[in-house]
Amino acid sequence: MPTKDRKLTVARAMAEAMSQEMRLDERVFVMGEDVGPLGGVFGNTRGLFEEFGAERVRDTPISETAFMGAAVGAAADGMRPIVELMFVDFFGVCFDAIYNLMAKNTYFSGGNVNVPAVIMTSTGGGYSDGGQHSQCLYGTFAHLPGMKVVVPSNAFDAKGMMTAAIRDNSPVIYMFHKGLQGMGWLGTEAGATVNVPEEEYTVNIGKAATVSEGEDVTIVSLGMGVHHSLHAAALLYEQGVSADVIDLRTLVPLDRDHIFNSVKKTGRLVVVDEDYQSYGVSGEIIASVVERDISILRAPPQRVAYPDIPIPFAHHMEQWALPNAEKIVRACLRATSN
């Protein structure tokens, strides 16, 4: 008898993790814009309002400053809030509560005050939503100390990392890519909808995963980029190049050993990131290898990242700027031609 399929979209996997933790721990609650009866603009709180009601699934006014401050205060006072900020692009208005209070209070209190908040927010573009609804800003959050940052690429990780994030006593920024949610109007990457166990489990925060094994080049990515990288690896295989594809899964803490060990094997490194190229994730990945041992590299590292421009609205201009499998193939061939 074959095992029965039980695939979930990332959106459903997130909701399932939250509902299971809310049943186990009454301190867990959810708040944000349209997380209640609507079930979240990206579907990730569907069913929660019906099960837990308006007290624990709280629709907020459109004041990120107010509800982010409330969440940080609630977390410091013993609750375990999960807060949705609909688009990562909107963080500017409420950043003080995040990087000055949430991220620092544990340190400033000498470890006496935990701030176990989960902030979930959508990232990424590709569906022509313009420069204020399409950014990733992974590097912005990863740069600021005091917060863990996770970026799941599939439904299995999405559930396990949400459960881990809720149980973590540190603040966790949970960044989900819109194109992986399983919402049709955002375009859906089929590879993100995978089998998910019904019972609770955690995926360790801080551990990367090798999602395809190869010998010639290491491709490091996260979120949607993992799927572009897997498509690229399949194209490269036809050309006789085998790629190790690493899904970072967590940006903070970064699994530098995992990256280093792969590059040590392949000698070549290509980083794929939908966030802006300069001063960000791709540079940090490369630095974490070369500052440890530059002699393992057989070719200069390559980057396929978002150009340093505000994201265009026009479809053909946005698609030109985004990472894709063809760009990754070219970068890998540049690296392996050395």
Partner 1 sequence: MSSAVHQVTIPIDLWEEEVEAVITTWFVSDAAEVDKGDLLAEIMAEKIQFEIVAPATGTLVIVKHQDQLIDKGDVIATITSAPD
Q: What is the footprint of partner 1 within residues 272-331 (CB under 8 A)?
A: none
**Minimum CB separation from partner 1 for residue 47, in Å?**
12
Q: Exposed e or buried b for every residue in 257-270, given b needs 16+ CB within 10 A?
A: ebbbebbeebbbbb
Residue 111 or 184 with smaller CB distance to partner 1 = 184
**Minimum CB separation from partner 1 for residue 323, in Å?**
21
Active site residue 64: yes
**Minimum CB separation from partner 1 for residue 308, in Å?**
32
Instruction: By CB under 8 A, tell whether 13 contacts partner 1.
Output: no
Active site residue 258: no
Under 8 Å CB-to-CB from 304, ≥6 apart: which residues?
Answer: 270, 271, 272, 273, 323, 327, 328, 331
**Minimum CB separation from partner 1 for residue 317, in Å?**
24
Instruction: By CB under 8 A, tell whether 154 contacts partner 1.
Output: no
Position among 18, 183, 246, 286 found at the interface with partner 1 (CB under 8 A): 183
In the shown chain, the binding pattern of residues 39 to 58 toward partner 1, with x for contact by CB under 8 A and - for none, equals ----x---------------
The radius of gyration computed from the CA coordinates of the chain, to the nearest angstrom, equals 20
Stretch that binds partner 1, among 3-11, 54-62, 139-147, 303-311 (CB under 8 A): 3-11
Position among 5, 77, 199, 291 found at the interface with partner 1 (CB under 8 A): 5
Instruction: By CB under 8 A, tell whether 7 contacts partner 1.
Output: yes
- Catalytic: which of 16, 33, 84, 133? 133
Residue 16 or 244 with smaller CB distance to partner 1 = 16
Instruction: By CB under 8 A, tell whether 6 contacts partner 1.
Output: yes
**Minimum CB separation from partner 1 for residue 50, in Å?**
14
Which residue bears the tokens 């940080």? 72
Residue closest to 139 by CA, chosen among 191, 91, 76: 91
Provide the annotated active-site residues.
Answer: 64, 133
Site residues (vs partner 1, CB under 8 A): 1-2, 4-9, 43, 182-185, 188, 190, 193
